[in-house]
Amino acid sequence: MCFLRFLAQARGTLARHLAEASPVAWAAVPPDSGRTLHLVMGNESCDLDSAVSAVTLAFVYAQRHLEHDYVPILNIPRRDYPLKTEVGHMFGQCGIVESELLFRDDLPGKMAPDVSVILVDHHVSPLAPNVAEILDHRPLDESSPSLQLLPASCERSIDASVGSCATLVAERYLAEEHPRSVAVARLLHATIVLDTINFAPAAKRFGPKDQAMVEQLEKELNRQATQRTVLFDELVAARADISSLTLTEVLRKDMKTLHTDRQVVPMAGMPILVRDFVAKSGAEKAVREFAAGSNLLVILGMWVAPADGQVQRDVGLISLNGQSQLVERVRLALVESTDPKLELQPHEPDTPRFMGGCFLRQHNVQATRKHILPVVKRALLEWESEHGCDSDDVYFFKEKPQLGLS
Ligand SMILES: [Mn+2]
């Protein structure tokens, strides 16, 4: 069966395994079929690696084990798919349409014990008791309690020496002659090139296996290694292309949530500068919609000049209910942070006023959210410990605001 037909049939395959009568629970598979349903799932960022690893591995296994069913699931709600612009770009190039893909919200809430799950590009999952196999390239997270819930029989292929989970899928794809698919080879190839930062020595994001797999895929696709740069630039541009997104979607595109005991603080990353974002008409409405229920919103902007690849970064802090002391506290923590120094300074010319927020240019462009998040968290915890629960100021925190993401 060809790859595209396999994807087109996935929904029907899944439906056969679901109870028609009860959409909230799994049906037992008809006893005479004996077919096990295997769900192949990537991680919740649904980046290119996760999406490609899921669809390609499901296809390869389905063609090799015809006695069972394999269904790829993208681990995001369907409405977030447009945010994954580089996934949409590569899938579109290969003729994969959104309506044929299956998402987390296509699954019922409860998982029957006889459903098998294959995790790609992650290994910590709430579905741990159902996991039969793992392909991942993140170092094993021994501290995670979900690891204890994995069945003893779970096959683990965890290889932190590779830059891309797609390399591990490519290894399996190339190990046997059947099946063969140009789309599968293209998707795996593109993902490895993107994840390894096009094998940039300075980034050190690849190992010998990534190299070997990319070369074998190029042989199959009849491509030259010299064509990689064009492909890499195209994928990076697709990832940063927000032209088809609403401003709220731009905020949601790459967000992480910081939790303390009393606060939920969304940290949005975006491929434009915050100062340019807040200058757009409708920005305030988007901010209120995105951060509804939270007190503080942190926005990290990054702009890569297309001409020379020069990076600019900036940071925005906005209190949704005008708590300027909290903004000031987090601002000070960031300005005084030395590990690393962020080198924050007002924009020149300064950003026009926007929702009472604070907007700073980050001159140390090497520092990322990974560095900024712990500084913000520490500041929030200190703030909370100084302002007891009985203070009027923080009374509403006790409500444990939910992130309104609609
Ligand atoms: Mn990955």
- What is the rounded (10 degree) CA torsion for 22, 23, 24, 25? 60
Question: How far apart, in whole angstroms, are the C-alpha atoms of residue 19 and residue 22?
Answer: 5
Residue with tokens 């520490």: 378
* Polymer length in residues for the chain: 406
Q: What is the DSSP letter of 284?
A: H
Cα 391 to averaged position of ligand 1 atoms, centre (Å): 44
Distances (CA, A) of 155 to 60, 150, 377: 17, 10, 36
Distance 298 CA to ligand 1 centre (A): 25
Q: Ligand 1 centroid vs 157 CA: distance in angstroms?
A: 13
> Phi and psi dihedrals of 377, rounded to 5?
-65, -45
Q: Quick check: helix, strand or coil at residue 195?
A: helix
Longest CA span, the chain: 72
Strand order in the sheet with 37-41: 69-73, 37-41, 116-120, 131-136, 155-158
For residue 163, how far is its CA from the centre of ligand 1 (angstroms)? 7
The pLDDT value recorded for residue 304 is 87
352 CA → ligand 1 middle, Å: 39
Ligand 1 center–CA 104 separation, angstroms = 18
Q: How far is the CA of 141 from the centre of ligand 1 (A)?
A: 15
Contacts of 50 (CB under 8 A, 6+ apart): 42, 43, 74, 75, 120, 121, 122, 165
CA of 212 from ligand 1 middle (Å) equals 17
51 C-alpha vs ligand 1 centroid, how far in Å? 10
Q: Which residues pair with 313 in a beta bridge?
A: 302, 362
Per-residue pLDDT tens, the chain, 406 aa: give them.
899 999 999 999 999 888 533 445 555 545 446 899 999 999 999 999 999 999 999 999 999 999 999 999 999 999 999 999 999 999 999 999 999 999 999 998 888 888 999 999 999 999 999 999 999 998 888 888 889 999 999 999 999 999 999 999 999 999 999 999 999 999 999 999 999 999 999 888 999 999 999 999 999 999 999 999 999 999 999 999 999 999 999 999 988 899 888 899 999 999 999 999 999 999 999 999 999 999 999 999 999 887 787 899 999 999 999 999 999 999 999 999 998 999 999 999 888 899 999 999 999 998 988 899 999 999 999 999 998 754 444 444 444 444 444 3
Instruction: State in Å: Cα 165 to ligand 1 middle.
Output: 5
Rounded alpha-carbon distances, angstroms, from residue 353 to 70, 251, 275, 290, 303? 53, 19, 10, 19, 21
**What angle, 0 to 180 degrees and rounded to 10, lies between the N-to-C axes of helices 3-17 and 48-64?**
80
Residues in contact with 61: Cβ distance below 8 Å, sequence separation at least 6, in sequence order: 38, 40, 68, 70, 118
Sign of CA dihedral 287, 292, 297, 300: negative
What residues sit around ligand 1, an ion, with C-beta below 5 angstroms? 49, 121, 165
The neighbouring-strand residues paired with 120 are 135
Find the 275 Cα to ligand 1 centroid distance in Å: 31
Q: How far is the CA of 190 from the centre of ligand 1 (A)?
A: 13
- Report all structural domains of the chain as residue ranges with CATH numbers, in order of start: 3-234 (3.90.1640.10), 247-399 (3.10.310.20)
